[in-house]
Structure 1
């Protein structure tokens, strides 16, 4: 088969398919929609973080003008609970509330104002209970049980060697406790959308989610109707970062739509989103790490306590991930890691970009930098002497795909030339480096299916269909790039079908940095068969030998002459040309629950300015080297790493969804600070490392999370280099910096 001149060259620099609609404002999110006869839904949430419900009265609300439906727990026809793994969060609470986001009732009315008025008319009486607002309180022997099984959601650990024996051989030991905050996703589009009842008793769901088929399963369980009668349309949506992986407002809109017989729209305000939405897990991590006199790490002991809030969601898996990554890319002979995830009356903690890796990497890299200082070895050399090699096992001792990623990313950052600062008397300057490894996919022993479908449509385009969702991460650009490269066609020859359970195959969750990898694997599996089917039909129609035919821009070529278009072939076909595939995400052969097989690696170099007058830390440079295999779509790749880096600047320096006595102290974005354009470093660079190991068969790894993971420790080390301050607590606010500077007797600059 020849390769004709008109064949479209692989172009991983092409623009994103959704780029122009987004920057021009033409793109309509699901919450922008409306339907004839649509009602507006509102949710009545708990007044208290922990209380018994003694009575619920909705009669007044139901009789108010414009109100078409009011629901309580009595209106849930089947399972009154949801949760990706364990359905332990009530859809509508019956006798007890466990956090201020708990839903007790909901209404649908003809206008938003009428819905709000009806909420106010719902009468709920409570009997307050003791508030467990910290894991320490929940673990005390006097604490009331938040769930029948107790206040511990999950425990996990890992042991290798003999830690105490290792510490006895150490020349230098560092022990620190690190605390990381509750972080909000702050996606542009808050939770919401429309659910419409259908004539067959089913529903159509137009709401943002990261896993339409999983939402369909959960809604089926709640509503008591077959999954096949639930359609979930989930793209496009304005951001998720893990925050829409779990059900949020879907159950309420569904119940209201079925009760009222009309479409119901719910769109949470920012304040409602902050109160009820899941957050990044706050964690307290104690690490004791020791080295010999030269700096070789001999022993590493870790204790992790995660505040999972009132309900489970993916709390167990997040703790498992943190435990797995507690030793990171380092080879340590003696390791002991213990983790516990604890129920409290705080807001629900759950899925967030990095999935527990950010928290534990902040602590681990903090240990590495402190040890390097104590044994008087440069931070880079210290890492090099302890770094894993190409064929070393994974952090739990499991078999992983060979990779030189750790060494490659560290070397790339070492070669970065130092910044030439324009120094000012009242500013101090520093540079920090950190590295990390991050497992992709859901891990060993977890259902992690994938697949896809290719077909020739009636309008003469190659349709690529996947059960993934587009929430800003750029999966449509990846699909377009992979398909055009596989078949040498143009972007105009490709139709992308995603985010609609009625029209796409079930290909697993759009989570865990797996989307790019799974699209690539699916197309590699399908392209040979699909191309053969196309060429068989084209040969018969064009009257050209199959061996002389090839695919190219717009259709089929016999040697270098186009002899048939895709559209012409589609018009004369009597049967559709379709190829499908199903498979699972690659996993380690070792029976170690949750452990990963494919890893990405990143090194981060952060450069900061510390204003000693105000305590303000500014990130002047943020450079990342990422080892994740071939780059499929350059704009999407860099966008993920750069965007993730800026998100982590917020995590490091300003963001904290603080709670006191089970109540959020921050209720809106006016007091919850996230990075603005002025906080984005001018020097923001991404260095992709595409070579992994020789003959690697696994193609591109996902980069949706890796760009967020090691930013915080790099910034904190840069702060230390600038002014000698070590901090174990995030975020590093100006007030905290001034406290640190005062403790170190760093004098504020005073104008002469």
Structure 2
């Protein structure tokens, strides 16, 4: 028997439970399970005033102590922390924020007037993958000041396009009342668990579920033979089986063999351990070069080559032969873990009418719906998918992970089933950023004008296709960068291996090829005797120029403006590194791509309905601003509905930096129809009316024979400068971004800051080591940047886009992470003259011992 004071109330616990598990069972949902190993800080609580990780504590360790969660803050504290974090723009996906609030309170209670350095140190135990920490630190300073001075909170809310409108969902996320899937509980709910393959490449002889079925508390155990519909899933190529069957070979460590539903998580996991698997272990294929070798085991029936991309313009070989200066280098980039803070979770609930309702936290409810329907072999109307809050994605929540298994278990049990991965399961299972080997040749004349580039890219797509084909395409179509280069020849090959799958990840292949191209440009600048800034400015695309992929740059192209914005800061330091990047908006290359939205007048408000997923980018707020700008309504006269396949129109996946443009334009078109009616009526008289909007981007396919094909509807451009201090550590990053039009500047800055810090981790500390296809890493050893490591970040927003499409906005989510690594590499190259061609960069103050 153990006692403690919990949020001011004495409580007794009968057994020595894990504190995190106990608190969540008490419905204290501000305490999040992000890793379960004491590394992320999402479960931070105050124990006798000290910020502590609940996942590392037990009832015995808090015996007789006072435990405080966000729910236990005073009403005044709740108001002030909610205001400060919202006003500062500190909230994106929100999953980490209650833990941040607890760490902030622990600091402010002891030091009411902390410095930024003290705030950084206080937040060292809390990981945020979205924000880059800049605005979180500012929020803590604002909260401290408000608490010291008993500040009155402002009431006005700016809400038009271009305003810094506070995020609509921020207060609920800050205070822990926003609901993520794993926060949900329903009567009679069962818990799911999945048995995975014992090794990456194993021939499965038999699966014996008898003992698991007999365990008291187990409701059902299912295997491949229990799937009523299509077993294999996939975005483009359905090559990923929901379960590996007896007599088949597994392809990676995350392959599922069986799934269990039981009355508790503990029993479900015990049952999984009772399943007996007879198998023959086989040597895995662990690199693309192995996969290409003659006689290599065929991972899929059609062979190990997933895709091949070729882009040619002009005559690269002839231009290279005639060039004054030639640089050829090989580059290697590793796989990378998304490390979103919210673990994958799904809750499937059979309804009385036979419908299966599945609550998810992915990047498109319609993608989830399509997979579940095909797996169950049912009609579309028999499955409904609803999104709860999404605790980060970055591309890592586009594929099925738990949704289909939870649905299948619930379908068999006829009871609700919730399935949530552990952090290690998540690390092992979901697709990563593609590891790549690249050889780049870049040449210029005596004036530094780049005349040709040639590249070969080898991409490890892992066990399954996921989005490996499109990722390889983007790596190739963007490989030459935002420059005028008449002669290009780029060849990419994507190979299957027995490594964890690789798929969508912020930057979508361009992070890899940009690192290679921008580093080559630095070497050319050195040979030509001009500065890294100058060579980029001389070659940068202007409106009307032809991009290396053949598309004509539109009037909103502003890469030169981003270069000019950072010129002085780059030239101020001999150790400054610089890099440029471009990134598409929308799927492009002829792929059907439509944003959809509907505005319904209900309860005296304009209710915005769209299935566009928000993983933290502030989509509801941006769409509200577009509606208000278009109609003249106040934001208090609007509302926003969560993605729901029964109610909200399919707006496509939140990927390719597309939602602000595609769904934003769809919302604008719907709002224009509403505005026409509002000229003669008020909202109340329009009750029940619906206004639909749709926007489809028309592009040309890869390999188009047009002289100047339209690859994408828009491109964003950026230039980043990285400054080092005297010790060789990061001092500051200045990031200039051509965003077209910033619908919400605070949101844009948050995206830039988060992308920069993610890019710094990619450049300097993050790795994903594998041994025979098995990840040799846990959350705490991924090398994620923390607040104490993050430098100052200055965001420079360049707005130059006359297009009326979505008020001129262009995507910013992905490009923010792309130029960071080459800019960091360039800074170290200028500092010590050492060329670093592999990520994470070697021999820096951030290098970790291996």
Q: TM-score range by the shorter chain?
A: 0.7 to 0.9
Corresponding residue of 1:485: 629
Corresponding residue of 1:46: 197
Corresponding residue of 1:638: 749
Corresponding residue of 1:426: none
Out of 407, 416, 428, which is 1:254 matched to?
Answer: 407
Out of 69, 83, 105, which is 2:220 matched to?
Answer: 69
Corresponding residue of 1:460: 604
Label 1:738 to 1:29 Cα distance change in 2 as closer, same or farther (>3 A): closer
CA contact (8 A) 1:107 1:119 kept: yes
1:279-338, Cα deviation, whole Å (9 max, x unpaired): 000111110111122211122110000000000010000001111001111112221100
Q: How does 1:517-532 map to 2 (within 5 A)?
A: 517-532=661-676
Please state how far the C-alpha of 1:262 moved relative to its aligned partner. Answer: 0.9
Corresponding residue of 1:542: none
Please state how far the C-alpha of 1:25 moved relative to its aligned partner. Answer: 2.4
CA contact (8 A) 1:202 1:225 kept: no
Q: How many residues were matched structurally?
A: 687
Please state how far the C-alpha of 1:202 moved relative to its aligned partner. Answer: 2.9
Matched, 1:157 2:322: no
SS in 2 for 1:53: strand
SS in 1 for 2:306: strand
Structure 2 gap ranges (5+): 1-156
SS in 2 for 1:290: strand
Q: How does the TM-score come out when normalised to structure 2?
A: 0.78
CA contact (8 A) 1:31 1:207 kept: no
Please state how far the C-alpha of 1:444 moved relative to its aligned partner. Answer: 2.6
Corresponding residue of 2:740: 629
Q: How does 1:208-287 map to 2 (within 5 A)?
A: 208-287=361-440
SS in 2 for 1:655: coil
CA contact (8 A) 2:765 2:847 kept: no
Out of 681, 685, 705, which is 1:569 matched to?
Answer: 685
Please state how far the C-alpha of 1:398 moved relative to its aligned partner. Answer: 2.7
Question: 177-186 vs 391-400, which deviates more?
Answer: 391-400
SS in 2 for 1:342: strand
Corresponding residue of 1:654: 765
Matched, 1:205 2:358: yes
CA contact (8 A) 1:158 1:335 kept: yes
Corresponding residue of 1:340: 493
Q: How does 1:168-567 map to 2 (within 5 A)?
A: 168-416=321-569, 430-457=575-602, 459-538=603-682, 566=683
SS in 2 for 1:719: helix
Please state how far the C-alpha of 1:508 moved relative to its aligned partner. Answer: 1.5
CA contact (8 A) 1:319 1:339 kept: yes
SS in 1 for 2:808: coil
Distance in 1 between residues matched to 2:806 and 2:660, nearest whole Å: 15
CA contact (8 A) 1:316 1:341 kept: yes
Distance in 1 between residues matched to 2:387 and 2:844, nearest whole Å: 42
Corresponding residue of 1:731: 840
Distance in 2 between residues matched to 1:151 and 1:698, nearest whole Å: 45
Distance in 2 between residues matched to 1:640 and 1:697, nearest whole Å: 18
CA contact (8 A) 1:177 1:287 kept: yes
1:79-102, Cα deviation, whole Å (9 max, x unpaired): 111111111011000111010011
Please state how far the C-alpha of 1:218 moved relative to its aligned partner. Answer: 1.4
1:447-472, Cα deviation, whole Å (9 max, x unpaired): 21212111211x10111111111211
Matched, 1:672 2:816: no
Please state how far the C-alpha of 1:732 moved relative to its aligned partner. Answer: 1.8
Distance in 2 between residues matched to 1:660 and 1:332, nearest whole Å: 40
SS in 2 for 1:670: helix
CA contact (8 A) 2:286 2:498 kept: yes
SS in 1 for 2:457: strand
Matched, 1:20 2:171: yes
Corresponding residue of 1:559: none
Please state how far the C-alpha of 1:10 moved relative to its aligned partner. Answer: 5.0
CA contact (8 A) 1:400 1:588 kept: no
1:698-748, Cα deviation, whole Å (9 max, x unpaired): 7201211111110110111011122222200101255798899xxxxxxxx
Distance in 2 between residues matched to 1:501 and 1:205, nearest whole Å: 10
Please state how far the C-alpha of 1:104 moved relative to its aligned partner. Answer: 0.6
Please state how far the C-alpha of 1:157 moved relative to its aligned partner. Answer: 0.8
Corresponding residue of 1:554: none
1:535-565, Cα deviation, whole Å (9 max, x unpaired): 3444xxxxxxxxxxxxxxxxxxxxxxxxxxx
Corresponding residue of 2:719: 603
SS in 2 for 1:147: coil
Distance in 2 between residues matched to 1:619 and 1:234, nearest whole Å: 39
Distance in 2 between residues matched to 1:733 and 1:41, nearest whole Å: 42
Question: 645-654 vs 695-704, which deviates more?
Answer: 695-704
Out of 72, 91, 101, which is 2:242 matched to?
Answer: 91
Please state how far the C-alpha of 1:415 moved relative to its aligned partner. Answer: 3.4
Corresponding residue of 2:817: 708
Please state how far the C-alpha of 1:74 moved relative to its aligned partner. Answer: 0.6
Distance in 2 between residues matched to 1:720 and 1:156, nearest whole Å: 31
1:583-640, Cα deviation, whole Å (9 max, x unpaired): 31243599739932310000101112474xxxxx632111111112111112211111
Distance in 1 between residues matched to 2:316 and 2:358, nearest whole Å: 52
1:410-455, Cα deviation, whole Å (9 max, x unpaired): 11111337668xxxxxxxx721111011111001321212121112
CA contact (8 A) 1:62 1:69 kept: yes
- Calculate the aligned-residue CA RMSD, in Å: 2.2
Please state how far the C-alpha of 1:195 moved relative to its aligned partner. Answer: 0.9
Question: 22-31 vs 213-222, which deviates more?
Answer: 22-31
Corresponding residue of 2:140: none
CA contact (8 A) 1:391 1:403 kept: no
Corresponding residue of 2:93: none
Corresponding residue of 2:729: 618
CA contact (8 A) 1:618 1:679 kept: no
Out of 692, 708, 717, which is 1:580 matched to?
Answer: 692
Please state how far the C-alpha of 1:693 moved relative to its aligned partner. Answer: 5.3
Larger RCO (CA within 8 A; separation ≥ 6): 1
1:22-78, Cα deviation, whole Å (9 max, x unpaired): 222222212111111001100101111111111111011011010001010011111
Distance in 2 between residues matched to 1:142 and 1:635, nearest whole Å: 55
Distance in 2 between residues matched to 1:479 and 1:387, nearest whole Å: 33
CA contact (8 A) 1:486 1:523 kept: no
Please state how far the C-alpha of 1:672 moved relative to its aligned partner. Answer: 1.6
CA contact (8 A) 1:197 1:203 kept: yes
CA contact (8 A) 2:334 2:436 kept: yes
SS in 2 for 1:463: strand
Distance in 2 between residues matched to 1:214 and 1:695, nearest whole Å: 30
Please state how far the C-alpha of 1:392 moved relative to its aligned partner. Answer: 1.5
Distance in 2 between residues matched to 1:7 and 1:368, nearest whole Å: 43
Distance in 2 between residues matched to 1:697 and 1:90, nearest whole Å: 39
SS in 1 for 2:331: strand
Corresponding residue of 2:60: none
CA contact (8 A) 2:734 2:795 kept: yes
